[in-house]
Structure 1
Amino acid sequence: MKKLALTLALGLATTGMAFAQGISDMDADGTGNLSMSELQAVYPNLTEEGFTAIDTNADGAVDEAELAAAVEAGTLKTEG
């Protein structure tokens, strides 16, 4: 778990994100997963197609592992 948190933190830092504490910073409804609207609050250019690509287990939500993989792969990018 520490390795995943570190990977996520490093990935978010390299994308220029102001926060790097993990999925809970973006999880507005406290489910432990991210909906498309929660991700769009941070990544406003995220499309339905992009969300579907990130949601690799197709459960309709992005978990911490999926988020880390998307950040590492460069799928989620901030503007600027």
Structure 2
Amino acid sequence: MNKIAFVLAASALSATAAFAEGEAPAADAAATEAAAPVVTDTDANGTFSLVEVQAVYTAVTEETFKAADTDASGELSAEELQAAVDAGTFVAA
């Protein structure tokens, strides 16, 4: 048990040192590189229109957009947009 606590404490200290030196941990750097592009809600209505999505995901067609719009509201919620990105339906060019 003491060995586990020591290993965890040593890991925490090395992570703190990396932050103090201005280095990002490797996991954070990889996540930043793999982050999906951001779709901007230009009209600030809380959902994403086809035009807003196409500004980033230029290959999205009306058909693929409608397929991602699971509640048939005509716009995508943040959850619907994320699901389409996660499924590989929306791929940034």
What's the TM-score once normalised by structure 1's chain length? 0.68
Which position in structure 1 is the counterpart of 2:55? 41
| CA deviations over 1:8-45 (Å, ceiling 9, x no partner) | x88x71x4x3x4xxxxx510000000000010111111
Quick one: percent identity of the two aligned structures?
A: 45
User: Hey, what's the Cα distance between the residues in 2 that align with 1:41 and 1:59?
Assistant: 20
Task: Determine which structure has more spread, i.e. the larger CA radius of gyration.
Answer: 2
User: Hey, what's the Cα distance between the residues in 2 that align with 1:45 and 1:76?
Assistant: 8
Which 5+ residue runs of structure 1 have no aligned equivalent?
1-8, 20-24
**Structure 1 residue 63 displacement after superposition:** 0.3
Which 5+ residue runs of structure 2 have no aligned equivalent?
1-30
User: Hey, what's the Cα distance between the residues in 2 that align with 1:38 and 1:68?
Assistant: 14
Which position in structure 2 is the counterpart of 1:31? 45
Which position in structure 1 is the counterpart of 2:12? none
RMSD: 2.1
What's the TM-score once normalised by structure 2's chain length? 0.59
Stretches of 4+ aligned residues off by more than 3 angstroms: none
